[in-house]
Amino acid sequence: MLAHVEAADSAGSAGAAGSAGAAGSAGAAGSAGAAGSAGAAGWAGAAFAAGVPHAVRTIQLSINIASRLKSDFLIISFSL
């Protein structure tokens, strides 16, 4: 009887630890995506202020948009 109760108790603890680990991983991935997007936006702002050629600004703006879409996709995928 005692052995059965101990086995049930340890199985419950293992389940709780697994759930907490999964939630932590999703949070870390989401934060990294947001930080990457902010970095791309800052670089684009510096390029416009420095007055670089129009073609380079257009390319950087495209990269900035792609970066934002990528980070949104990462956040959505981890939310599911």
27-66 per-position pLDDT tens digit? 444 455 555 555 555 555 655 555 555 555 566 666 666 6
The amino acid at residue 64 is N
Does the pLDDT of residue 7 top 50, yes or no?
Answer: no
Question: 53 in the Ramachandran plot: left (φ > 0), alpha (ψ -120 to 50) or beta?
Answer: beta
Q: Which pTM was predicted? A: 0.17
The amino acid at residue 72 is D
8 Å CB contact between 47 and 60:
yes
| pLDDT at 68 > cutoff 60 | yes
Contact 50, 73 (CB under 8 A): no
Domain that holds residue 9: 2-79
Q: Domain count for the chain, please give it.
A: 1
